[in-house]
Amino acid sequence: MTWKFVGASVQGTSHQEHSLDCQDICVCRCQNLGGQEIFWAIVADGAGSADMSEIGSQVTSFGVANKIERWLRRHEGQVSLINKDVVIEWITTAQNALVSISKSKERQVRDYACTVLGIVCGPKNAVAFQIGDGAIVAATDMDHYEAVCWPENGEYANSTYFITDSNALEHLQVKFLNTPHKLALMTDGLHNLALHFATRSVHAPFFEPMFNRLMSEKQGFSELLTQQLKDFLDSKPVNQRTDDDKTLVLAVKAL
Amino acid sequence: MSEFDFNLEQIPFGTDNFAANPEPRCPVVLLLDRSASMAGEPIAQLNAGLVTFKDELMADQLAAKRVEISIVTFGPVEIQNEFLLAHEFSPPTLTASGDTPMGAAITQGIDLLQARKSIYRANGISYYRPWLFLITDGGPTDYWQTAATQVHEGEKAKAFSFYTVAVANANIEVLNQIAVPHRQPQHLKGLQFRPLFVWLSNSVRAVSGSAPGDVVRLTNPATPDGWAEA
Per-residue pLDDT tens over the stretch B45-56: 999 999 999 998
3-state SS assignment for residue B95: coil
The pLDDT of residue A1: 64
The pLDDT of residue A13: 74
Distance from CA of B109 to the nearest CA of A (A): 19
Q: Is the pLDDT of residue B107 over 80?
A: yes
- Selecting from A46, A47, A197 the residue whose C-beta is nearest the C-beta of B126 gives A197
| Range from A195-199, B28-32, B91-95 carrying the lowest mean pLDDT | A195-199
Q: Do A199 and B124 touch (CB under 8 A)?
A: yes
pLDDT band at B10 (very low <50, low <70, confident <90, very high): very low
User: What would the pLDDT profile of B130-176 be if each residue is shown by its tens digit?
Assistant: 999 999 999 999 999 999 999 999 999 999 999 999 998 899 999 99
The pLDDT of residue A16: 61
Q: Are B99 and B131 in contact (CB under 8 A)?
A: no
Q: Do B212 and A47 touch (CB under 8 A)?
A: yes
Determine the straight-line distance between the first and last CA of chain A, rounded to whole angstroms. 11
Q: Could you report the predicted ipTM of this complex, rounded to two decimals?
A: 0.76
The pLDDT of residue A17: 56
| Range from A74-78, A102-106, B17-21, B180-184 carrying the lowest mean pLDDT | B17-21
Q: Which helix (H) or strand (E) holds A129?
A: strand A125-131
Chain A residues within an 8 Å CB radius of B118: none
Q: Do B126 and A157 touch (CB under 8 A)?
A: yes
Mutate to test the interface with A, among B210, B216, B217, B218 (most CBs of A within 10 A): B210
The pLDDT of residue A187: 92
The pLDDT of residue A85: 97
User: What would the pLDDT profile of B196-211 be if each residue is shown by its tens digit?
Assistant: 888 888 888 888 877 7
Angle between helices A84-104 and A53-74 (to 10 degrees): 140
Closest residue of A to B123, CA-based?
A198
The pLDDT of residue A20: 58
Q: How far is CA A179 from CA A30, A81, A165, A172, A252, in A?
A: 14, 14, 30, 20, 11
Chain A residues within an 8 Å CB radius of B213: 46-50, 53, 113, 160, 162
Say yes or no: B1 contacts chain A, CB-CB below 8 A: no
- Selecting from B124, B129, B212 the residue whose C-beta is nearest the C-beta of A153 gives B212
Quote the CA–CA distance of B206 and B46 in Å, as a whole number. Answer: 23
3-state SS assignment for residue B192: coil
Per-residue pLDDT of chain A (255 residues; tens, 9 = 90+): 689 999 998 888 766 655 556 778 889 999 998 888 999 999 999 887 788 888 999 999 999 999 999 999 999 999 999 999 999 999 999 999 999 999 999 999 988 999 999 999 999 999 999 999 999 999 977 678 999 999 998 888 888 899 999 999 999 999 999 999 999 999 988 988 899 887 889 999 999 999 999 999 888 898 889 999 999 998 888 887 777 788 999 999 987
3-state SS assignment for residue A77: coil
Q: Are A40 and A26 in contact (CB under 8 A)?
A: no
Question: Which stretches of chain B are assigned E, i.e. beta strand?
Answer: 26-33, 67-74, 78-85, 131-136, 161-166, 186-187
Distance from CA of B59 to the nearest CA of A (A): 18
The pLDDT of residue A241: 74
Quote the CA–CA distance of A243 and A246 in Å, as a whole number. Answer: 9
